[in-house]
Structure 1
Amino acid sequence: MNTEIIETSADGKKLQKLEVFDLSGESSLIEIHSSKEFQTITGFGGSFTESSAHVLSQLSPEKRSEILEAYFGDSGAKYSLTRTHINSCDFSLSQYSYAPVPGDIHLENFSIDKDRELLIPLIKDAMTISSDGFKLISSPWTAPPWMKDNQDWVGGKLLKEHYPTWALFFAKYLAAYQAEGIPIWGVTVENEPHGNGNNWESMHYSPEEMTEFVQHHLGPTLENNGQAAIKIFGYDQNRAGLKDWVDVMFATGESSKYFAGTAIHWYESTYEVFPEALNYAHAIAPDKYLIQTEACVDAEVPKWKDDAWYWSKEATDWGWDWAPEDEKYLHPKYVPTYRYARDIIGCLNNWVDGWIDWNIVLDRQGGPNWFKNWCVAPVIVDPASDEVYYTPIYYTLVHFSKYIRPRAKVIGVEKEDDSLLVTAAKNPDKSIAVVILNQDMEKKVFELKLGEEKQLISISPQAIQTILIPSNN
């Protein structure tokens, strides 16, 4: 079998091409069933935030270009699916809205000028570098406070009287970005409609309220404005609550008409993929998208140039301190690289078709973040010294984004070694990408089988491996 094998590992490999293997010891079988096809891949990528744009603007032009090439260039991750925020979010430099004037129900003062300072130039530069292009999903954290029942940036609900204005807001946003030469592919109705503990920009919906807004306001408004091609994604929060939302969103043909699919996050747990919830969401709406729109190592200040930390069980998340006693078991210490690879493999093996990371770049503090909600990004920079640190998380993401391309089909995999996590996809050019995670402290030997072709391969201890099988196999 003619293969290209790329590995990233705790012992220092970073997307290293392997040609020599230690094949001593027992082997197991991994069999690829290329004729057994599942969902079609939409893409993989990360998010453009004002914080990322600000940090990148502080670097030398050379370093800024290097990072954008690493994410969007042919030599890098080739990100194909991205996200950004509508109005401000916690990863903004301040709180702002495109419609700041109270009572402006016709949005005569609507303006995206704030985004023209940092965010729009960043997205345009990424578009220039990307030879294949990428899809962009936009998400609001909140409507302007004057549209809400609590008149605040944080929490509260959208007043029913402002449902038409908020729908018009989306239409104006999409038109304004289109005029800038940035086509928005899709929108989520609301980032985290359950709220976020009333800490930063948020707005609450029940499943019924969101469905009513989309069915009777957002969907028709976009349709009437010639924007019917824009994909509308419901929910956009953690997977544990998924069933309650899809049951309402997709209850009838009328309720589901304008929903293109469902968006999800990973923060409910540091290790659980929630396969039952994902399979349920697919089964109830098999023709709709199911996209993971946000994930990060949260509640952590990034470790600077310390690869070992990202391969060790030292990270904690919000639940380490704040989860209720009966849910603390879901939030143990964890290995950051494993969490990413485990989740992406688990998602692909349970009908998820797209996977988006959070901020593409942050500083050494894990910001800037106006609420001081520090998080880790795959790329960390020190603007003062003009230094860049590509964490092992960055290389982990490349194993998927570079080699599993949009319109690929997830295909069947059988394996004998339960300790190995495996997924596979057939690309549009008929090449096959197999991604394997070995979390053990010892190497694993396996025989990869595709039809009548076989190859004996080993994967290092604590390693992620992508095996690319050309179409001529």
Structure 2
Amino acid sequence: MKKTTGLLLVSFYTLFVCGDCSKKSGNEPVLPPPPAPTNDVEMWLTKGDQSALLQKQTDILSFGTTANSFPNIDIDSTTAYQSVDGFGYTLTGSSAYLIRRMGTAESTALLNELFGANGIGVSYIRISIGASDLSPAVFSYNDIPAGQTDPTLANFSLANDTVDLIPVLKQVLQINPNIKIMGSPWSAPVWMKNNGSTIGGSLQPQYYAAYAQYFVKYIQQMQARGVPVHAVTVQNEPEHGGNNPSMVMTAAQQADFVKNHLGPAFQTAGITTKIIVWDHNCDNPNYPITIMNDAAAKAYVDGSAFHLYAGDISALSAVRAAHPDKNLYFTEQWTGANGSFNGDLVWHVKNVIIGSIRNWSRNALEWNLANDPAFGPHTPGGCSECKGAVTISGSAFSRNVSYYIIAHASKFVPTGSVRIASNLAANLPNVAFKTPSGKKVLIVLNESGTGQGFNIRYKGKWVFTSLAAGAVGTYVW
């Protein structure tokens, strides 16, 4: 009996003191769940196989300090280079023609997608002064019957551009009033040339003064129609006389025209539009250097412009080394009907977007904005394979590779951004920016044949990410 009483007392003591011993003591701290990782970096991706097209990724990218053996891309926002004017295309006469023949709702939607803040934010466009080879027809602003001349430019008229180009430009300016517009002539009026043709030939010296006034009238009359022209190049591709239209101009001729005619004419008229020389390939940097070595010409010149159908993109840096006080621009590169999406994506992002900006360009422009399904309209003898950023068929459109090439920069790097320092890791060409709002933007291409992981390292911390072979990523934080 005593044994039974002792067991009952132990049982009551245990129940009273310990309660339900299967539960945790109330004196132990309750730990909160670990915090969810924060996403520090947003990323947009385009793959060469088109399985991702400027697609925002959902992966969590968090800065940390956990070591790994992957290569680093180091970003230094305290080291700044040139300011950025913008990214975009040439709004050719044919592009405007096609856009104007879309339905009103469809064309408005397309222009908002291209130029709007909620679209891809194209911030720089080039237009032709007169016709380019991607215009529906050849024309200048002073076409008169053969054998006649008009040195006072009494017959000067923008009539051809009032049909399609100027109405589209005014729509674009409503969407983005701050867009920068560059004008480039393919040819002077035929009566000013020494061969009587829209193809090739040179400007006759006796018409240098009249041609300078041609530019003045163009800028003034565009401004009067609500279209400010930010910059002009003196001649598109001055060493290529085989296009229709086209005109040949040597460096000595261009220097003479600028210092003795165009520059003084702008000054007299109070025109502040920038004068940009060359506007041709990277294989002849001596052309713009020669012009700017002439101090009288250089005084009127803002900088020089380049294409990359020949030469190497590093030519821009060679020109800057010779004239570090003058600006650089990249104004044209075409994608063709027979090119591949993946091949063009890699080459153009590497050279046009990353390469030009790392070599001091203030802008990066692809060539044509829009074409029809037959790669037209174009002039007789004009480019029959030039693929636009979009293909327009009636009121419908589809996006081509140059849409994504430019969008990876234009959507994220607004006018007024500044290039900042970033190192080049193997097979990962890249370029970095700081935007006016203080965001950092890094564009990276994986040009290797296999997927590659790497770290984006900034202010002592890093985030790991990876790109498939041939993919491009834009990272924003």
Q: Report if TM-score (shorter chain) is over 0.5.
A: yes
**Alignment map for 1:62-73 (pairs within 5 Å):** 62-73=105-116
Return the offset for 1:142. 0.6
Name the counterpart of 2:142.
99
SS in 1 for 2:348: helix
Name the counterpart of 2:318.
280
Corresponding residue to 1:4 among 35, 38, 42: 42
* Structural RMSD (CA): 1.8
Deviations 1:149-181 (Å, cap 9, x if unpaired)? 111111111110000000000000001100000
Return the offset for 1:253. 2.7
**Alignment map for 1:129-148 (pairs within 5 Å):** 129-130=175-176, 133-148=178-193
Corresponding residue to 1:373 among 383, 389, 399: 383
Corresponding residue to 2:85 among 42, 48, 69: 42
Q: Distance in 2 between matches of 1:274 and 1:178?
A: 34
SS in 1 for 2:52: coil
**Alignment map for 1:143-222 (pairs within 5 Å):** 143-196=188-241, 198-222=242-266
Which stretches of structure 1, 4 residues or longer, exceed 3 Å deviation after superposition?
A: none
Q: Is the deviation greater in 356-365 or in 161-170?
A: 356-365
Q: Say whether the 8 Å CA contact 2:128–2:185 is kept in structure 1.
A: yes
Instruction: State percent identity of aligned pairs.
Output: 29
Within the alignment, does 1:354 sit opposite 2:363 as a pair? yes
Q: Distance in 2 between matches of 1:362 and 1:26?
A: 47
Q: Is the deviation greater in 159-168 or in 392-401?
A: 392-401
The amino acid that maps onto 2:341 is Y
Q: Distance in 1 between matches of 2:239 and 2:140?
A: 21
Return the offset for 1:26. 5.6
Q: How many residue pairs end up in the alignment? A: 427
Q: Say whether the 8 Å CA contact 1:443–1:459 is kept in structure 2.
A: yes
SS in 1 for 2:319: helix
Q: Say whether the 8 Å CA contact 2:244–2:382 is kept in structure 1.
A: no
Name the counterpart of 1:364.
373
TM-score scaled to structure 2, two decimals? 0.86
Q: Distance in 1 between matches of 2:396 and 2:362?
A: 34
Q: Say whether the 8 Å CA contact 2:243–2:382 is kept in structure 1.
A: no
Deviations 1:350-369 (Å, cap 9, x if unpaired)? 11111112221111111111
SS in 2 for 1:114: helix
Q: Distance in 2 between matches of 1:301 and 1:100?
A: 36
The amino acid that maps onto 2:399 is Y
Q: Say whether the 8 Å CA contact 1:27–1:445 is kept in structure 2.
A: yes
Name the counterpart of 2:403.
394
Q: Is the deviation greater in 57-66 or in 183-192?
A: 57-66
Q: Runs of 5+ in structure 1 lacking a partner? A: 303-308, 312-334
Name the counterpart of 1:121.
167
Q: Say whether the 8 Å CA contact 1:290–1:353 is kept in structure 2.
A: yes
Return the offset for 1:48. 1.3
Q: Say whether the 8 Å CA contact 1:422–1:437 is kept in structure 2.
A: yes
Within the alignment, does 1:225 sit opposite 2:277 as a pair? no
Q: Distance in 1 between matches of 2:122 and 2:440?
A: 18
Q: Say whether the 8 Å CA contact 1:246–1:284 is kept in structure 2.
A: no
Deviations 1:246-268 (Å, cap 9, x if unpaired)? 22211143220111110111111
Corresponding residue to 1:110 among 156, 166, 169: 156
Q: Distance in 2 between matches of 1:86 and 1:301?
A: 29
Q: Distance in 2 between matches of 1:358 and 1:10?
A: 20
TM-score scaled to structure 1, two decimals? 0.87
Corresponding residue to 1:310 among 341, 346, 350: 341
Q: Runs of 5+ in structure 2 lacking a partner? A: 1-38, 63-67
Corresponding residue to 1:459 among 461, 464, 467: 467
SS in 1 for 2:423: strand
Name the counterpart of 2:55.
16
Corresponding residue to 2:420 among 407, 411, 416: 411
Q: Distance in 2 between matches of 1:246 and 1:32?
A: 32
Q: Say whether the 8 Å CA contact 1:26–1:445 is kept in structure 2.
A: no
Name the counterpart of 2:15.
none
The amino acid that maps onto 1:31 is D
Return the offset for 1:22. 11
Q: Say whether the 8 Å CA contact 1:21–1:458 is kept in structure 2.
A: no
Q: Distance in 2 between matches of 1:387 and 1:398?
A: 20
Q: Say whether the 8 Å CA contact 1:265–1:293 is kept in structure 2.
A: yes
SS in 1 for 2:429: strand
> Could you say which structure has the larger radius of gyration?
2
The amino acid that maps onto 1:39 is Q
Deviations 1:351-391 (Å, cap 9, x if unpaired)? 111111222111111111122522111111222xx321112
The amino acid that maps onto 1:462 is G
Change in CA separation of 1:176 and 1:56 when aligned onto 2, cut-off 3 Å = same
Q: Distance in 2 between matches of 1:390 and 1:428?
A: 29
SS in 1 for 2:201: coil
The amino acid that maps onto 1:460 is A
Change in CA separation of 1:414 and 1:113 when aligned onto 2, cut-off 3 Å = same
Q: Say whether the 8 Å CA contact 1:22–1:458 is kept in structure 2.
A: no
Q: Distance in 2 between matches of 1:252 and 1:61?
A: 50
Return the offset for 1:211. 0.5
